Structure formats: structure tokens, C-alpha cells
Amino acid sequence: MPLSAERKAEYFVKMKELLSTYTKCFIVEVDNVGSMQLQTTRKGLRGRAEVLMGKNTMMRKVLKEFVEENPGTPMEQLIAMCRGNVGFVFTNGDLGEIREILESNTRPAPARVGSLAPISVIVPKGPTGCDPGQTAFFQTLQIATKITKGQIEMTNDTPLIAAGEKVTASQAALLQKLSIEPFTYGLNLKAVYDGGSLFDAKVLDITDAVLAFKFGEACNALASICLAIHYPTMASVPHCLANAFKAVVSVTLGLEGTYTFEKAETFKAFLA
């Protein structure tokens, strides 16, 4: 049912207010997310973030008007993101904390006929709880079975559905017989907008620890190159000093007491 002119006006005002109030937002995909699950997510975000859903045409129109009213605003980047079944989660808080809340609110779901599998599904071997009269059903799906203690038992782990494939009626029926709900659905993070920059949500996987490790690796590589070409830098100078000290100690030990210095005494005592 289309919104009335009054409701549309309220929506436009609300979205423009959110765009003006918040400097960060997640663009989320909400495929297969029910209204109750969405309501639970809103409750979990209360006081930290606001979820806004709507038709893509309306959201694009609001964004275009906002850009016209605020020339040069980086929010213009969000217009291109209004594709598919998407929404916005606005916040001024820590993006990592908001992400944890969004990703924690997922629900198991059965495989529906005709839906695209978000992940590959492998049915584990073992007893199925099905009586021997249903053997033909498993044979149709080319699943190796045997009869054990009056029930059908799968003899091998069976790759049933590949990620991206459409679920067939037979596959859905088998998963239902085995009481397997292979998929989980929730708000899928598509992109992140932060202070004028739009980037993939996977960037949030880069923690301070990861950055420190990568920086250390880069410093080691730079130091190795500089030492090889005899070009001093801040990364290589500590290694140059250490190598010089080793050389001086080696010469001192080779002089057999003719010359020594305080720092070399430790090494002389060790070799004595």
C-alpha cells in the first residue's frame, strides 16, 4: 500500500534529519529478514543507532534533495548505494560496536525452494531418523545410505547445495526431513560511510593489532632492503649499529687481550 502524501512528507523530514545529525552509517541488505527480527535489532541499537528502511526511489529522492540543499556534501555517495533490498543504520558511536550488535542478531532459517543459497550446504553422515521405506528418496539425490537399527543412515558427508545455487524442491525436502536449518539471515553489512568516506564493510576487520603487525612487517622488509643496498634509514640504522658492535667485538676477541673495552668483557667471559 503506497504511503500517503502526509506520511511521505514525514519520511522526508526524518531522513533529512538523520543525514544532518549523524556522520556515520552502515548500508545494510535486509533480504529474508522478518519484521520481528528487524524490531529486535532496533531494540538492541536503541540509544546507539537508528535504523531507517524505505523504498529505494524515496531514499534516492531524499538524498538528491539533501545534496541540492547542501552543495558539496559527501552524502551524495549514498545515492548509488540505494540498490536492492537495502536500508541505513545511522550512528555517531563506535562502528565496531554497532557492527557486533548487527551481526549478533541473526536467525536460523530453512532452505526455501527457489531461493539462492548464501553458503554451501554439506549434510553430515550419520543416522537420519527416516524409515527404510524412504530409501528411494535418498537414491534420487544420489546419496549413499545403509540401513542401521531400522533407520536410514548416510554413509558419507554429502555436499548438497553450492553457494549461489537455487534450492530445488528435493534439496529443501531432504533438509526438512533431517530438521536442518542451514542458513542464517540478518542485516548483511554492505558498505560503511564514515565522515565523508564510503568503503566496504570488510575494512572494519582491520583492527589495531592487524595494523601494528602489518606495520612491523613493512619495517622489517624496509630494513632488509636498506641493509642490502647500504642505504641508511630510520628502519635500518639500529641494525647497522648492532652489526657494527658485533664487528668490533669480533675484532677485540681476535686480538687476544691486546685491546678490549667494557662491553666486550661479557663476551670474552662467555667464551673463556
Class of residue 263 by CB neighbours under 10 A (exposed 0-12, middle 13-18, buried 19+): exposed
Burial 73-98 (b: 16+ CB within 10 A, else e): bebbebbebbeeebbbbbbeeebeeb
HEC sequence for 134-146: HHHHHHHCCCCEE
- DSSP assignment letter at 240: H
Mean pLDDT of 225-248: 87
Q: Which amino acid is residue 63, in one-letter code?
A: L
Tens-place pLDDT, residues 87-144: 999 999 888 888 888 888 877 878 888 888 888 888 888 888 888 888 888 888 888 8
User: Can you give the C-alpha Rg of the chain in angstroms?
Assistant: 31
Question: Beta partners for 184?
Answer: 108
Tens-place pLDDT, residues 241-256: 888 888 888 888 777 7
**What residues have CB less than 8 Å from 95, skipping those under 6 apart?**
24, 26, 192, 194, 204
- Across all residues in the chain, what is the average pLDDT? 85
